[in-house]
Amino acid sequence: MTKAVKSALIIGGGHNGLACAAYLARAGVQVTVLEAAERFGGAAVTREFAPGFQISAGAHLLFALDEKIRSELQLEQHGLEMAATALETIGLDEDGDYVSIAGGTLSGPGALDEDKTAMTRYQRQMNRFADVIWGLKDQLPPRMGTTAKDDLLSLGKLGLKIRRLGTEDMREFLRITGINVYDILQERFTSEHLKGALSVDGTLGTFLGTRSNNSVFCALHRFNRGRDYALPKGGMGAVSEALAAAAKAAGATLRTNATVASITMDFDRASGVTLSDGETLEADVVISNADPKTTFFKLLGARHLEAGFANRVHHLRTRGCVAKLHLALDGLPGFTGLDETQLGKRLLIAADMQYVEHAFNHAKYGEYAQEPVLEITVPSVHDATLAPAGQHVLSANVAWAPYDLKGGWTEVARADFLERCLSVLERYAPGLRGQILHSELLTPVDMEQEFGMTGGHWHHVELALDAFLMMRPTPGAAQYATPVNGLYLCGAGSHPGGNVTGCVGRNAAKAVLKGQG
């Protein structure tokens, strides 16, 4: 039944699609990547948003790119260069009493002594726990309830890994992984301000507030390698370009402006794709970098799936809830309390956990935050290629701004939300308004348009314990292969999820080669 895969089509040239292409090409598979946009990268992309101003339009910080992929695909040789690495996180304060978090080290005028000790412990513990969770990143998720040796072995290994944490840590791991950041931060820290900043790790990009269970899991998912935030030179698009170069060097064919209209079925097997201009392509396997809903409903069609599976896909939670704010600035912004070197760090506006929780509350009812949480970078501090001399770009993730806004994202709604973002920013960086040359607000609806992600969701599918490992995106498609013969997934909707990691692409390539059609 198994036959060697000789050719593959990859729908979507996001970073995972490119990584997948590179690995398959290296294994001798004839790969063609079909990207609808005019450049590769999907949501890991750099583009001009105002004349002379370049921005990472989707993801804006690099912190999870897999080391293995980096070295195996020789991304540095293919042009990847960091403009800045090991960026601290700074929890901004209106009065300038900010806290600065660098790994386990806490500093800044807002840092309390008791929190400094607690921070070291917290960092150590979260890193250990994240190793367990994030350590699963390369794994083909095991199936449950089977008697297959591979599955049992893989689960056994996970069990052993948890045991190896030692009695105390193991107990703590089993206690906190399923709960919320509010509870664990309350247990550990004193400063409300610090807790606010730390709570963002568990909630940003998800439909969770600080008190929502699952948020510890999400924090752990993000916590890999001690949150070593970096900015690639040339923006996030540089990562995609390096991946594209690696794929090309390995022999993959890369096509842009090639919009896949549908996946072609040959009886019960995916045999190729049809492009929007009518061109048809065939291959042994089709691998989709698109999100599961797009893949299964828009490109394939629910009618080619059995109903139970289609129903599971239908119920995937794909409401994006983060907007993206881009500002072209006529000079460096002045955040109260920060000096110039600090402006290049990861800046957070999350006054305390109640502030974050209130920002989230609105999203539950299809409203945007009245006082949003912002994760800000000013990448031009490190990278002069992004803006004209003396001028800067500011990029911010803004939460919460739900995809399904009640009444829709009308011009009025956009303008009002932008105004709310700017007025919050102005409080932390007085005078910022006057520096703005141009602004761009991408709501989840815009991101859906621009990046083709259903709901404009970063992770394609909500990241949560009920959508992780063997349940991501959903049972039946959690091992990259789908119920449709010859059709695979390689997008963020699959294990281990979103963020610019490349892992999904690499894992999917492995699964394709292992399954061999």
Partner 1 sequence: MKKYDAIVIGAGHNGIANGAFLAKAGLNVLMVEKNDWIGGATVSRNLHEDWIYSNCSYVCSLLRPEVYRALDLAKYGLQVVPYGGSVTISQNGDYYASYVDGDASRREMMRHSHRDADAEHRFERDIMRQCRFIRQFLLRTAPDPASFKPRDLMELLHIGRKFWDLGEETIYDTMRFYTMSIAEFLDEYFESDLIKASHAGSGIIGSAMGVMSPGTAYVLLHHAMGDVDGTAGAWGFARGGMGAIAKAMHLCFEDHGGTTVSGSGVEQILVKNGKVTGVALENGDEYEADIVVSNMTLPRTFLECMDPKDLRPEFLEKCRNFKIRGSSGKINVALEGVPQFTALKGNTEIMRSDMHLIDSIERLERAYDDWKDGIWSRDPYIDMLIPSLTDPTMAPPGKHFMSLFIQYVPPKVRGKDWTDEDRDAFRDTVFNQIEEYAPGFKNLVAHAEVRTPRELENEVGLTEGNIFQGELTMDQLLFNRPIPGYAQYRGPVKGLWMCGSSNHPGGGVMAAPGANAAREILMDLKKPNTVPEGWADD
Partner 2 sequence: MKTFNIDSPMHHKTKVFPSPFHSRQAEWNENKEWSRWYDYLSVPSYTDETMEYFAGRNTCGVFDITPMTKHLITGPDALPFMNRLVTRDVSKLKPGRVGYSVWCDDRGQVIDDGTIFHLQQGQYRLCSQEHQIDWLMINAHGFDVSIVEDTHDVAGLALQGPTSCAVLRKMNLPGIENLTPFGMASFDFEGTQLMISRTGFTGDLGYELWIDPDHAEVLWDRLFAAGELHGIRPMGSDALEMLRIEAGFIMAGADFAPALHTVRSKNTRSPFELGLDWLVDFKKPVFNGRQALLKEQQQGSRYALVKLDIEDNKAAEHSYVYDTRERNIGWVTSAMWSPSAKKNIALATVKRPHGKVDERMLVEIYYQRELAWSRKMAQAVVVEQPFWDPPRRRQTPPADW
Residue ranges that bind partner 1, judged by CB under 8 A: 143-146, 163, 167, 170-172, 174-179, 183, 187, 208, 211-214, 315, 317, 354, 357, 361, 364-365, 464-466, 470-471, 475
Q: Find the shortest distance in angstroms from Cβ 99 to partner 1.
A: 23
Q: On the CB side of 117, how many CA atoms lie within 13 Å of its CA?
A: 3
Q: What are phi and psi of 98, to 5 degrees?
A: -75, 165
Please list, in sequence order, all residues whose beta carbon lies within 8 angstroms of the beta carbon of residue 318, skipping any fewer than 6 positions away: 291, 293, 454, 455, 457, 460, 461, 462
User: In whole angstroms, what is the distance from residue 133 CA to residue 368 CA?
Assistant: 31
Q: State which residue, 267 or 365, has the beta carbon closest to partner 2.
A: 267
Residue 517, interface with partner 2 (CB under 8 A)?
no
Q: Find the shortest distance in angstroms from Cβ 287 to partner 1.
A: 24
Q: State which residue, 179 or 261, has the beta carbon closest to partner 1.
A: 179
Q: Find the shortest distance in angstroms from Cβ 218 to partner 1.
A: 11
User: In whole angstroms, what is the distance from residue 368 CA to residue 439 CA?
Assistant: 19
Question: Which one of partner 1, partner 2, none is in contact with 81 (Cβ closer than 5 to 8 A by kind)?
Answer: none
Residue 305, interface with partner 2 (CB under 8 A)?
yes
Question: Which one of partner 1, partner 2, none is in contact with 268 (Cβ closer than 5 to 8 A by kind)?
Answer: partner 2
Residue 143, interface with partner 2 (CB under 8 A)?
no
Selected from 192, 249, 274, 297, the binder of partner 2 by CB under 8 A is: 297
Residue 366, interface with partner 2 (CB under 8 A)?
no
Question: Which one of partner 2, partner 1, none is in contact with 310 (Cβ closer than 5 to 8 A by kind)?
Answer: partner 2
Q: On the CB side of 209, how many CA atoms lie within 13 Å of its CA?
A: 16
Q: Find the shortest distance in angstroms from Cβ 403 to partner 1.
A: 16
Selected from 128, 188, 225, 314, the binder of partner 2 by CB under 8 A is: 314
DSSP string, 73-88: TTTTTTT--EEEEEEP
Residue 307, interface with partner 2 (CB under 8 A)?
yes
- Among 192, 187, 191, 197, CA closest to 114: 191
User: In whole angstroms, what is the distance from residue 390 CA to residue 368 CA?
Assistant: 34
Question: Which one of partner 2, partner 1, none is in contact with 309 (Cβ closer than 5 to 8 A by kind)?
Answer: partner 2
Q: Which stretch binds partner 2 (CB under 8 A): 254-262, 307-315, 365-373, 487-495?
A: 307-315
Q: Residue 128 burial by CB count (10 A; 0-12/13-18/19+): exposed, middle or buried?
A: middle
- Among 288, 228, 232, 225, CA closest to 262: 288
- Among 244, 200, 283, CA closest to 19: 244
Residue 483, interface with partner 2 (CB under 8 A)?
yes
Question: Which one of partner 1, partner 2, none is in contact with 471 (Cβ closer than 5 to 8 A by kind)?
Answer: partner 1
Residue 309, interface with partner 2 (CB under 8 A)?
yes
Selected from 150, 268, 279, 419, the binder of partner 2 by CB under 8 A is: 268
Q: Find the shortest distance in angstroms from Cβ 178 to partner 1.
A: 3
Q: State which residue, 28 or 308, has the beta carbon closest to partner 1.
A: 308
Q: Which two tokens stand for residue 327?
A: 């500002």
Please list, in sequence order, all residues whose beta carbon lies within 8 angstroms of the beta carbon of residue 419, skipping any fewer than 6 positions away: none
Question: Which one of partner 1, partner 2, none is in contact with 487 (Cβ closer than 5 to 8 A by kind)?
Answer: none
**C-alpha dihedral (153, 66, 195, 165), degrees to nearest 10:** 30
Q: State which residue, 14 or 497, has the beta carbon closest to partner 1.
A: 497
β-partners of residue 100 are 90, 107
Residue 426, interface with partner 2 (CB under 8 A)?
no
User: In whole angstroms, what is the distance from residue 34 CA to residue 333 CA?
Assistant: 40
Please list, in sequence order, all residues whose beta carbon lies within 8 angstroms of the beta carbon of residue 416, skipping any fewer than 6 positions away: none
Q: Which stretch binds partner 2 (CB under 8 A): 194-202, 303-311, 376-384, 408-416?
A: 303-311
Q: Which two tokens stand for residue 77?
A: 């040789």
Residue 261, interface with partner 2 (CB under 8 A)?
no
- Among 255, 274, 254, 279, CA closest to 263: 274
What is the footprint of partner 2 within residues 233-252 (CB under 8 A)? none
Q: Find the shortest distance in angstroms from Cβ 92 to partner 2.
A: 45
Q: State which residue, 377 or 482, has the beta carbon closest to partner 1.
A: 482
Selected from 28, 109, 301, 431, the binder of partner 2 by CB under 8 A is: 301
Residue 146, interface with partner 2 (CB under 8 A)?
no
* Contact of 17 with 42, CB cutoff 8 Å: yes
For residue 258, give the 3-state DSSP assignment: coil
Q: List residues binding partner 2 (CB under 8 A).
A: 265, 267-268, 297, 301-311, 314, 476, 483
